Chains A and B, each alone.
Chain A
Amino acid sequence: MEGQLQARRWLWLYALVLLLYASLATWWVYFFFNQADWIVAHVRSAGGLLTEPQVEVLREVSARTARMFLMESGFLFLLLAGSAVFVLRALRRERLLVRQQRNFLAAITHELRSPVASARLYVESLQLGRVEPDKQARYLQHAGEDLQRLTATIDELLEGRRLLERGLAVHPEPLDLGAYVRQGFERLLALHGAAGATLLLDAPAPVPALADPVAVDRILDNLVSNGVKYGGSPARVEVGVRAHGRWAELSVRDHGPGLQGADRARLFEPFVRGGDESVRRRPGVGLGLFIVHELARLHGGDVQVEDGLPGGGTRFTVRLPAEGTAHP
């Protein structure tokens, strides 16, 4: 906030300088254009003699100076105004960042406090003898789940920090992406199927890729749990693997409400979560897509987003290099 105020103050100063410069330049242009007439008037009033051709030359020189000055000052003015626009854009971006940081704080505050609040109430209820015997085991189990959720959030936050500091690393190797994803799909089905989500896989043919299997697991985990989280309820998530030119493509599509105006450019930045934090609440701290994007980038690939698909939903497509193609 402090920084923003300062930036705004600088911007005002900038506008003032610009205004001052523009008025000064206008005055100079006026001066140059009329310079010849003033000189002629001065010389003649002092009794000097100037022939018409001499006056013409004087006017010509003075006009040329004026035109040159006009062009130069115009160029400088444009330069100044252009940089003002640049500063303005930086300021707007900073405001966005501040807002998102506040959102992030609200999100993690909630993610950390909610499980603590319920675990504490479960334990206090037990301690104070306020729980019927047949409910006691259930209370303990729920308190345990709350603590697990808390641990997971803390781990995720720490990992986010580590990621930002050191970055990720991948070790690509030749891999049949189709077969690999088919293999790991059982685990995803078990994980999300229990919560009522429908998961479909379309990976018919071998898809030779140059990819790090650990990274592929993480990409798949993150995209599928995102799809389940934001894909409406009950969620329906389709996973596809195919070879496409020099790429091996892994796509995950949900049937949710879509990005809903979320800032696409910032989708892959760390700690950015969809929507307004006080109304839309999903678990997580906003690292999933950032990790996916980083991993794809380290493979020399990328991530593409398609929103507003027929029938609703969003598709994320991760492009990894096909085997045999060389990438930097």
Chain B
Amino acid sequence: MSARLVVVEDEAHLAEVISDNLRLEGWEVSLAGDGAAALRVVRQQHPDLVLLDVMLPELDGFAVCQTLRAEGNQVPILFLTAKSGVGDRLRGLELGGDDYLGKPFDLRELIARVRAILRRAEWLRSPSTAGDVLRLGAATVDFRSYEARIGDRLLQLSPKEVLILRCLAERPGEVVSRNEILDRVWGYDAFPTTRTIDNFIVRLRRLLEPDARNPRFIHTVRGTGYRLTP
């Protein structure tokens, strides 16, 4: 089934040329010309991705994103906007946007980013190739319920922690680079910093390793990334 996208853009020319090009990739595209229409279309159609302009008549793109997230709607959002200062970028991502593209942008970059977000969403939805449960010594992690059991202790893991583990577990024994983890778990390049992943790894080791200082399962490969040996 082809992915369904919603393009929220009030500039008629941009809306035309963006939606034509997305349709050419085989995706279904709906248009919305302002913030209120965007909310209506997204609620009705449950699209796979929203391309959202920030400066809109009546209700701006940030507010649209905020409203959707407050309703528990996790549809991936790609901000397209003429505002491309660092502050605006950060604001968009903090409000729950998945990626940010400043106008003017390259056509091929737009398509590549849309494809990357759709691929990631697909990966999130699909059952893990590593199975639903990961065993690490005495610890077991359930990818569906986000729970970890160590002996008779039951821990609740955060979605990001589970996704990082899943990313590593799907390629056991192989080195997975930090950038790859960022790309799959966060979905956009260089935000947050690769340092953030290191912090997540430290926490996961503390939770799951018998001795966090001498890890048996989650290994650091200096200068590259991480390797999981179940």
Q: Which chain B residues numbered 92 to 127 have a C-beta less than 8 Å away from chain A? A: 103-108
Segment of A18-26, A30-38, A272-280 engaged in the interface with chain B: A272-280
B103 and A281 within 8 A (CB): no
Question: Please, which residues of chain B bring their CB within 8 A of the CB of A118?
Answer: 11, 13-14, 17
B55 and A281 within 8 A (CB): yes
Closest residue of chain B to A139, judged by CB?
A: B17
A110 and B13 within 8 A (CB): no
Chain A interface residue count, Cβ-Cβ cutoff 8 angstroms: 27
Max chain A C-beta neighbours (<10 A), residue from B16, B17, B24, B59: B17
Question: Please, which residues of chain A bring their CB within 8 A of the CB of B13?
Answer: 115, 118, 122, 142, 145-146
Size category of the B interface is 20 to 34
Q: Given A117, A122, A281, which contacts B57 in the complex, CB threshold below 8 Å?
A: A281
One digit per residue, 1 when the CB lies within 8 angstroms of any chain A CB and 0 when it does not, for chain B 47-81 equals 00000001111111010000000000000000000
Give the docked Cα–Cα distance between A131 and B16 (Å): 12
One digit per residue, 1 when the CB lies within 8 angstroms of any chain B CB and 0 when it does not, for chain A 115-137 equals 11110111011001011000100
Given A142-B13, A278-B55, verify A117-B60 contact (CB < 8 Å). no
A128 and B10 within 8 A (CB): no
B20 on the A face (CB < 8 A) = yes
Question: Please, which residues of chain B bring their CB within 8 A of the CB of A128?
Answer: 107-108
Q: Given B18, B59, B60, B104, which contacts A113 in the complex, CB threshold below 8 Å?
A: B104
Q: Which chain B residues numbered 10 to 31 have a C-beta less than 8 Å away from chain A? A: 10-11, 13-14, 16-18, 20-21, 24
B17 and A125 within 8 A (CB): yes
B203 on the A face (CB < 8 A) = no
Closest residue of chain B to A142, judged by CB?
A: B13
Question: Please, which residues of chain B bring their CB within 8 A of the CB of A122?
Answer: 13, 17
B14 and A117 within 8 A (CB): yes
Cβ of A315 to closest chain B Cβ, rounded Å: 24
Give the docked Cα–Cα distance between A277 and B59 (Å): 11
Question: Please, which residues of chain B bring their CB within 8 A of the CB of A120?
Answer: 104, 107
A125 and B55 within 8 A (CB): no
Cβ of B106 to closest chain A Cβ, rounded Å: 7
B82 on the A face (CB < 8 A) = yes
Give the docked Cα–Cα distance between A189 and B54 (Å): 34
Given A110-B82, A113-B82, A114-B82, verify A121-B14 contact (CB < 8 Å). yes
Question: Please, which residues of chain B bring their CB within 8 A of the CB of A145?
Answer: 13
Inter-chain pairs besides A110-B82, A114-B103, A142-B16, 15 sampled, C-beta below 8 Å: A109-B82, A109-B83, A113-B103, A114-B11, A116-B104, A117-B104, A117-B105, A118-B13, A121-B14, A124-B106, A124-B107, A130-B20, A279-B55, A281-B55, A281-B56
Listed A/B pairs (12) with beta-carbon separation below 8 Å: A117-B14, A117-B105, A121-B18, A121-B104, A128-B108, A130-B107, A139-B17, A142-B13, A277-B55, A278-B60, A279-B58, A281-B10
Taking beta carbons and an 8 Å cutoff, which residues of B are in contact with A? 10-11, 13-14, 16-18, 20-21, 24, 35, 54-60, 62, 82-83, 103-108
Closest 3 CB pairs of A and B: A117-B104, A117-B103, A113-B82
